[in-house]
Each structure stands twice: as C-alpha cells, then as structure tokens.
Structure 1
Amino acid sequence: QLYKLHRDRHYGTLDELFHGTVDWDLINEQWDQMVRVAAALKNRNTPPEVVVQRLASAGSADRLAKALTAFGRIIKTIYILRYIQEEDLRRGVQLQLNRGEHRHILAKWLFFANRGEFRDGDINEIMNKTSCLSLLSNAVVIWNTVHMQRIVSRLHDAGETVKQEDLARNWPLLHAHIIPNGMYDFSGC
C-alpha cells in the first residue's frame, strides 16, 4: 500500500494507488525516540531481535511503534514509486530475484532424498539438513566460480575479449554439469 505524504495534495491518476496519509505529527512527536532506537541498533547497544520483540508486544496504543510504522510507510512509498518510474531499478530487482530463484532451484535439485521434503519434525535434524544443503550449494557455487575464472583466464591468455555483460549472465548457480548423487565405478570388481 502507498501513502500520501500530504493529505491535500493530488497526484492525478496515481491518487487511486494511495490508501492513506502519513501521520507527520506522530513522527515529529516520536522523532527523538526513533533516533534513539536507530542509534542503539547502529551502535549495537541493543540486539535487533529485542527491539522487534518489544515493538511487536507493545500493543496498538504504543506511539513509538506507530511512528516507526508511519516512517516505514514513507520509505516504502518512495521506493515503490521509484520502482514504477525507474527501469534500471526494476531490472536490478528482477536480476536479484532471478538469482535468488536460481539458488532455490539449485538447493531443490541437490536435495533429492525424500523428494526434497523434511519428513522429520525434530528441529535439530531439520537444522542439520538445512546446514548440509547450504554447504552443498556453496560448494557448487565455489566450484563453478573457480572453473569459470579459469576459463576466463584462458580466454584472456589466448587474446580473446571477454565482455562484462557476458560474465554477468553466467551465474555460478548453474548445475547441469554436476552429478548430485555421485558416480560409482565397479570396473575393478
């Protein structure tokens, strides 16, 4: 949802996108407290989970939580409007989404046992499997990165030009050349 910064301003066809107005009075009232919270987080005086827990349990009457929410609405609205307007931003976001999706595809492909499902309800067992899956995924990424760099170095040594945009399209998350369950050699048996 988008929020107007000023109630009396109208933005033509964009008006229908807005669902409310930012409460500037509340933000101004709570500004010092908001700065204290931000400073405590930045200086690592307070762990983020403590701040989030406190704000989540504060209830609907907590003015600091409301002010932080209002301030977050400003940032979110500005970002979404920039996203709508700036093609480069949209392209960058899509690129990151694609990378994240490819990371999930790689993990799903590597996790072939039990059809990629966690069948055990034990949290320690789930965490162990998740850590192993992360380790395997990272091993594939490192393997691919090292070998891609070797190929690029060989091309450079051979006098070939390698364009940055070509390298940007080759992610180290590719896995068609990886055999997930290994190879077994019984020729010596």
Structure 2
Amino acid sequence: MYEVAISVREGAISSSTLLKRLRSGSWKNATYTAFREVGRVIRTVHLLRYLSDAPLRRRVTAATNKVEAFNGFSQWLGFGNRGVLADNDPVEQEKAMKFNALLTNAVIFHNALDIAEIVRQLLKEGWTIEPEESAHISPYLTEHINRFGEYSTHELGIQPEAYDPKLDVDFTQLREENLTSEGFGRAA
C-alpha cells in the first residue's frame, strides 16, 4: 500500500488508473484486498468511536435531522406527481431536480428574511433575543405558503426596500460554545 501511495505521489501511476484497477473488485488482486481491509478497519474504528462518544452521536443526530428536515421541506414544495419523475430523459430529470432545489432555496431565503424582520421588530419593541433562542428557529416554515397559488399582479410594479443584512443579536458566545463542543478548539 505504501508503494502504491508513493507511486501516486511521485506520478508513476495516475490516481485514475489506480482507481480503474481497483474498481474491478478482483479478490485475487492483493492491492484491492489490502485497500478493502483498510477500509473495513477505518469503518469499524468510526463505528466504535460513534458508539462510545455521546457528543459525537448528538452531533450526527442533529446533522441528520437537519438534512431530513431539508429533504422533507423540499419534497413538500415539489408536491406535483408525488415527487415521481415522470420523464425517463436524464436531462429532463436533472432539470426537475434543479428546479426543485432552486425553489426550495428561494423559499428558505424568503423565510430567513421574514424571520430576520420579525426579530428586528421584536428588538425595536424592547424584547431581548438570546442567541440560543434564535438557533432553534427553522427556515423550513410551510404554514404561510399556498402551494396552489394566489397570484396578485398589482404588486409587480412596487420596488422592494433594500435588504439590510445586519441583525443586532450577538452570536459570539453561541459560536464559541459550538466550536468547543464539536472539538475544533482542542488538539486532536
């Protein structure tokens, strides 16, 4: 394995050529077998670390929940045909998926703008907004969205106000706590 790594580093064999050879999956190939076993060891080490490290499990669960929330929100927005891609053309399938991703991100951005405006209004009214409270607000809100549309054209000529990205909430403490709890602040 060291010889293979050195060969790749020195340019004696390209990584793409190596991957082509390993992709064949021949159990008779000693290099393939060695890399497969190393992969199994790495996977086992990660699994054991996951099982023994409660903070890691919490971080993985939180990240998984965020991804699942995004996917659920995206699927809710792309409700037509129950999410089934009816076209067998890969180009049309890619267009449909990209359109859904664009729509999802646009609605998330709109929700984030609305949330920021509400926070600004609360701050003006004298409310104290703690960073921990803000961290629990999700941009995957659906209650105010009418998927079937209600289109008003009289507002098309109205110029929107310029967006102010400043939000008077100090997230420094929350960021420092997250960095410490995720292990970024300590030596590996």
Q: For this structure pair, what is the TM-score category when the shorter chain's length is used for normalisation?
A: 0.5 to 0.7
In the alignment, is the contact (CA less than 8 A) between 1:34 and 1:64 conserved in 2? no
- Identify the residue that residue 31 of structure 1 maps to in structure 2: 2
5+ long unaligned stretches in structure 2: 154-188
Aligned to 1:127: 94
Cα distance in structure 1, aligned partners of 2:19 and 2:147: 40
Contact 1:140/1:175 (8 A) holds in 2: no
Deviation of residue 52 (structure 1)?
A: 4.6
Which one-letter code corresponds to 1:181 in the other structure? F
Q: Give the number of equivalent residue pairs.
A: 151
Deviations 1:125-164, CA, capped at 9 Å, x for gaps: 1111111001011111111222222333333444433233
Q: Which residue, out of 93, 102, 106, partners 1:139? A: 106
Partner of 1:82: 49
- Any runs of at least 4 consecutive aligned residues in structure 1 with deviations exceeding 6 A, and if so which? none
Identity of aligned residues (%): 31
Query: Any residues of structure 2 matched to 1:86-165 within 5 Å, and which?
Result: 86-165=53-132
* Residue of structure 1 equivalent to 2:27: 60
Match of 1:134, as an amino acid? A
* Separation (CA, whole Å) in 2 of partners of 1:51 and 1:146: 48
CA–CA separation in structure 2 for the residues paired with 1:51 and 1:141 = 42
Q: Please give the alpha-carbon distance, in whole angstroms, between the structure 2 residues aligned to 1:118 and 1:85.
A: 41
What's the TM-score, normalizing by structure 1? 0.66
Query: Which whole-Å CA distance do the structure 2 matches of 1:72 and 1:158 have between them?
Result: 57
Cα distance in 2, alignment partners of residues 67 and 107 from structure 1 = 41
Distance in 2 between residues matched to 1:65 and 1:114, nearest whole Å:
44
